[in-house]
Amino acid sequence: MRIAWKILVALLLVVGGAIAWWQFNFPAVSYRYRLTVAVETDGEVHSGSSVIKLLFRFVPKWLPPSGGTYNVWFTGQAALIDLGVRGALVVALSDYPPDPSVVNASLLPSCAFLPAAWKDARDSPTTPKNQLAVALAKGPADLGPGCMPAFYWFSNPADLAGAKEVKPADFASVIGDATRLVSAQVEITLDPLVIDLDKKLPAYATLTAPPNNGIYTTPGGLTLGSGMFIAGNER
């Protein structure tokens, strides 16, 4: 009996040690944040928000050939701002093709909460230590001019072909009536994920249905993918 007990304890120690070794060398950081954007048009402020979950998995520097890198997955949906008669503005999770002036959903919290360390999307402060600091951040943080997500305007929320990518500086000229960005913030949250963009944006159904099946190019040459609006690729 004592021998069996000793064997069990030894096995538990081995398994526990293996788990501890894995967590130390291959750390993971996960958190949720709420993205909230407010826009003024026709003298009225409209806002929209969404909760996005991030999961970072890091690779140790000693492991070739990709030592020191990381993988990131995000789950959630784009924020939609109902502009009334002026359609809908969608704050996308990402853009295509990638624009170096745009920060995608996986890096927005880093850009907002670690401005001193942030340089650009190709040299972001994505380390276990910094991502843990982001996960523990309190209160909202503003997204500045160099920390903007991708915006897509639908003059008609049911018309996929009329979608346009627009920068905040061009809101007025594209959307009209001196439309302007009022605020854009991120805040770490425990709120649940909600996926209902497909109900708010009828054009999304056209994007995901045959013959598009998740990828569509507008007559103007803008490529849209379903993952830009709803993502569920958590691992």
> Is residue 7 one of the residues assigned to a domain?
no
> Is residue 137 one of the residues assigned to a domain?
yes
> Is residue 16 one of the residues assigned to a domain?
no
Residue type, 101: S
Is the predicted pLDDT of residue 65 greater than 80, yes or no?
no
Is the predicted pLDDT of residue 3 greater than 80, yes or no?
no
**CA distances, 91 to each of 37, 211, 218 (Å):** 8, 25, 18
* Model confidence pLDDT, tens digit, residues 173-220: 999 988 999 999 999 999 999 999 999 999 999 999 999 999 999 999
Supply the pLDDT for residue 201: 96
Give the list of residues 6+ apart from residue 41 with CB closer than 8 angstroms, or none. 83, 84, 86, 171, 175, 176, 177, 178, 179, 180
Number of structural domains the chain divides into:
1
> Is residue 215 one of the residues assigned to a domain?
yes
Lowest mean pLDDT of 68-77, 123-132, 207-216, name the range.
Answer: 123-132
> Is residue 96 one of the residues assigned to a domain?
yes
> Is residue 158 one of the residues assigned to a domain?
yes
Omega within 30 of 0 (cis) for the link into 140? no
Higher pLDDT, 172 or 10: 172
Section 90-100 average pLDDT: 90
Report CA dihedral (185, 190, 195, 196) to the nearest 10 degrees.
Answer: -70
Q: Which pTM was predicted?
A: 0.84
Cα of first residue to Cα of last residue in the chain, in angstroms, is 41
Supply the pLDDT for residue 122: 47
> Is residue 12 one of the residues assigned to a domain?
no
Measured CA to CA, the distance from residue 33 to residue 54 in angstroms comes to 8
Domain extent at residue 199? 26-232
Summary mean pLDDT of the chain? 85
Omega within 30 of 0 (cis) for the link into 211? yes
Is the predicted pLDDT of residue 54 greater than 70, yes or no?
yes
Is the predicted pLDDT of residue 44 greater than 70, yes or no?
yes
Q: Please identify which residue in the block is written with the tokens 């009022």.
A: 182
Is the predicted pLDDT of residue 11 greater than 80, yes or no?
no
> Is residue 164 one of the residues assigned to a domain?
yes
* Model confidence pLDDT, tens digit, residues 213-229: 999 999 999 999 999 99
